[in-house]
Structure 1
């Protein structure tokens, strides 16, 4: 297959970029793969350094004055390279790809759309993308699939494909490495301290302050035995003020935006993602792959990552008291934490591998192309039947000799 991945983000791109790069790394071994993204994007900069991968500097301009020209440029790119599949990952590149392939009766690539978020999917623009610019839909969770069944995409073939992570990169480490990491991030940390941490980011919608509020509810003796470690953009003044108001300033570490989160995750005993809306979470799966049991909120697709009580725990959104009770229990039940961490790694090996993720995505492409082939064959047979009927009608209407 010849596959073109598109994304409109000009900067880091977050989960979209990680998702695409993971697929590119695996599928470029057996298919011809290309990426179209803005030159300033992490996606373009990473893809251009991958052997055998074509990276095209492409800005998906969506203003009325630029949209037509951008679509024509993408159409020329598609026609010049003969892609079988265009895999779109955002609203802007989805819209432009739909316009670019409009009316391509011959060798039209199939458009596969991944819905990464649960933002509203309604309005005329969505209807046009879903009707004219989509052949198959990949949902990153069952939660996403249920959400899309209420939209125009319900008319399309939808398949759930959960994220995969690089299990050779995100791995559990020896106890000695854990100790070194803890001492680096938390100098003079008492041995009985429970470190809970998150690499999911520090925007308000990640609800990391719920963990701070829950720890603050504990009796002082228990509260002092817990540290919270966070990776992401540093908190704003309002967020810091809330931490101070809860009396938790000395127990929270802000690691900042890390290029590599593994050294911080190594220091965790337990990971957490308490978002109020999250379709799945790469951060959750990366922490699980490193052998960290997870505490997740019962929101969006987060519960799909874990088996409650086995490799993690599910808490109600904003359930500070429930979360505090769970932490108090885990403080004095370290063997349970260790067992859950081992189970998290085992699940990762069984379900989260990059190869499994890529194979399931590849199966969506192949299914989409088979349907297209069946449709073309059906249309060809229909045209042949029409032609035969026309010929018979023409001969029947001839006067006898």
Structure 2
């Protein structure tokens, strides 16, 4: 098959980048894979480093004239390359691909759209994309499926394909690896503290400041035992001011964006994802659990599809700092429980977060579409 992946994000791209790269890295060995994304995106840079993957710099957002040029370029690409599948990952690239394929008739590629957030798809634009630019919808968790069933996509062919993570890459660290990771990431004197961290990013809706506020509320003796480690884009001035107001500037460490998340995962004792909205299954949560870390999650989106409260993590109400304080107090009162819960987290990841299952089920969606296009079967089979 010939597959085109598109994504509109500039810069890091977060979970969208992880998603596309997970698929491209494996499927490029059996299919012709092309990735189209903005020139400034991490996705384009990482995809360009994969042998056998073609990359196309393309802006999916911009001024009308810029969008017209991008549309013409994309239409020419689709006409010349005759892709079997175009897999879109956001409203901006979905819209441009829909417009680029209009009038192609039997030569139109099979368009797969992945819904990565739990935003309610009810706008006029979403309605047009559902009717004219979608052959199949992938929902990354059961929560997303339920949301899409209430949206303008409800009559489309919806499939649940849970995101998978590389459980070989994200695996429990040895004691020596954990010590080295802490030495490299934490300031002097903090290596012996309880390390609570998140690689879910610093966007406001991620509510990472709730963890900072919760640690700040602990009794002084307990508070001194904790350090918070945050990976992702560095916070803005307002967020940093809030950290300072909480008196936590010396206890929160920001790593910035990471090319390799493994040392970060190795340094943690406990993970957290405390999103208040937009969250679905969370690659970050699944990576931390695969690395053998129990995770504190909010009861939002698909996060509770990862964690069983009290077994491999803790589930707290969204935006409830008091509930996070209670969870931390239990951990600090009985830190020995982390070893057992970490093993359970790793076991959950091995059973349910399989990268092979994720890629295989996604490929099955492509092949169903491929089989429905006789013109393309004659050309590419």
Q: TM-score normalised to the size of structure 2? A: 0.91
Matches of residues 2-401 of structure 1 in structure 2 within 5 Å?
A: 2-60=2-60, 63-184=63-184, 185-189=186-190, 191=192, 193-277=193-277, 278-371=279-372
Work out the CA distance in 1 between the residues paired with 2:60 and 2:337.
49
Work out the CA distance in 1 between the residues paired with 2:255 and 2:74.
41
Aligned residue-pair number: 374
Work out the CA distance in 1 between the residues paired with 2:329 and 2:124.
51
Deviation by residue 1:321-345 (Cα, 9 ceiling, x = unmatched): 2221111111132332111111111
> Is the Cα contact below 8 Å between 1:206 and 1:276 reproduced in 2?
yes
Work out the CA distance in 1 between the residues paired with 2:214 and 2:52.
49
Q: How far 1:118 sits from its partner (Å)?
A: 2.7
- Do the aligned partners of residues 147 and 202 (structure 1) sit closer, same or farther apart at CA in structure 2, a change above 3 Å counting? same
Q: Any unmatched runs of 5+ in structure 2? A: none
Work out the CA distance in 2 between the residues paired with 1:262 and 1:330.
23
Q: Any unmatched runs of 5+ in structure 1? A: 377-401
Answer with 244-253 or 145-154: which moved more.
244-253
Work out the CA distance in 2 between the residues paired with 1:300 and 1:87.
23
* CA RMSD across the alignment: 2.2
Deviation by residue 1:150-190 (Cα, 9 ceiling, x = unmatched): 22111101111121222222221111221233344142247
> Is the Cα contact below 8 Å between 1:26 and 1:354 reproduced in 2?
no
> Is the Cα contact below 8 Å between 2:215 and 2:325 reproduced in 1?
yes
Q: How far 1:63 sits from its partner (Å)?
A: 4.5
- Do the aligned partners of residues 129 and 219 (structure 1) sit closer, same or farther apart at CA in structure 2, a change above 3 Å counting? same
Work out the CA distance in 2 between the residues paired with 1:229 and 1:4.
36
Work out the CA distance in 1 between the residues paired with 2:348 and 2:81.
40
Work out the CA distance in 1 between the residues paired with 2:257 and 2:53.
28
Q: How far 1:245 sits from its partner (Å)?
A: 2.8
Equivalent position SS for 2:107: coil
Q: How far 1:11 sits from its partner (Å)?
A: 2.5
Work out the CA distance in 1 between the residues paired with 2:233 and 2:54.
32
Deviation by residue 1:65-96 (Cα, 9 ceiling, x = unmatched): 45455334323212222211110112121111
Q: TM-score normalised to the size of structure 1? A: 0.87
Work out the CA distance in 2 between the residues paired with 1:70 and 1:244.
44
> Is the Cα contact below 8 Å between 1:207 and 1:274 reproduced in 2?
yes
Answer with 302-311 or 180-189: which moved more.
180-189
Work out the CA distance in 2 between the residues paired with 1:61 and 1:231.
27
Work out the CA distance in 2 between the residues paired with 1:222 and 1:12.
35
Deviation by residue 1:173-221 (Cα, 9 ceiling, x = unmatched): 1112212333441422474x32111111122211111112112222222
Work out the CA distance in 2 between the residues paired with 1:203 and 1:66.
28
Q: How far 1:232 sits from its partner (Å)?
A: 2.2
> Is the Cα contact below 8 Å between 1:272 and 1:284 reproduced in 2?
yes
Answer with 305-314 or 152-161: which moved more.
305-314
Equivalent position SS for 1:34: strand
- Runs of 4 or more, structure 1, over 6 Å off, are none
Equivalent position SS for 1:227: strand
Q: How far 1:102 sits from its partner (Å)?
A: 1.5
- Do the aligned partners of residues 316 and 101 (structure 1) sit closer, same or farther apart at CA in structure 2, a change above 3 Å counting? same
